Amino acid sequence: MRVVVAGATGRIGSRTVARLRDHGVEAVPVSRRHGVDVITGDGLDEALRGAEVLVDVTDAPARTEGAGLQFFHTATTNLLTAAAAAGVEHHMVLSVVGADWLWSDYFRAKPLKEQIVRNSPVPHSIVRATPFFESIEVMVEKNTLYDRVHVAPVLAQPVSTDDLAVAVAHVAVGLPLFGVLKVAGPEVRRLDDLAGEALTARRDSRVVVPDAQARYVDRPLSQPG
């Protein structure tokens, strides 16, 4: 089985390639670093030739207003067009838990991406994941002001990318779900507590300030007003 992984150099993509190889399948890594661009379409047809499965774990590199929508619309359309032409039998995409109710420019792009996938003739599976533990480290860096880290006191159920990659690879080599599978970590925790634990583990002296207005990485967590 030939499985193409778009976004193969990313946090989840690199682990997914490794877990797919555990299944004994031919995992083909795809990203701009491999000479394939899902936005311009460069190299896409060649990469997908002979593929039975396409796993899409790409992410938008830019976080400016509208960049997520533009990226996911174009990338998903290009990937599906190339997949249909190549006779791909299963298209698996990674989305986010809460994509349909979280409010932000970035998260609005996720239901749109899912809709494009559902409307395509290529059989699909959608895996929605909770935030990665690694994203908490990113959030800490983005939300630091002097020696204070502003974090919203909200509940989250983060997942390890190692565990998620096992689930993504498992779904990819199976039959298309024609639906959604949600993957979360084992514990519901307050985000500010998790950020504090991450700092303590690194013997980092910064102090976490619970702040209802704080953003998650670069996305607001709640609807304004």
Instruction: Report the interface residues with ligand NAP, using CB under 6 A.
Output: 7-13, 31-33, 36-39, 57-59, 61, 94, 96, 129, 131-132, 135
Task: State the minimum distance, in angstroms, from the CB of residue 146 to ligand NAP.
Answer: 26
Task: State the minimum distance, in angstroms, from the CB of residue 14 to ligand NAP.
Answer: 8
Task: State the minimum distance, in angstroms, from the CB of residue 31 to ligand NAP.
Answer: 3
16 versus 147: smaller Cβ distance to ligand NAP: 16
132: CB partners within 8 A, 6+ apart: 11, 12, 158, 159, 160, 161, 164
Task: State the minimum distance, in angstroms, from the CB of residue 52 to ligand NAP.
Answer: 20
Task: State the minimum distance, in angstroms, from the CB of residue 103 to ligand NAP.
Answer: 15
Q: In what order do the strands lie in the sheet with 144-145?
A: 144-145, 148-151, 207-210
35 versus 50: smaller Cβ distance to ligand NAP: 35
167 versus 173: smaller Cβ distance to ligand NAP: 167
3 versus 36: smaller Cβ distance to ligand NAP: 36
68 versus 196: smaller Cβ distance to ligand NAP: 68
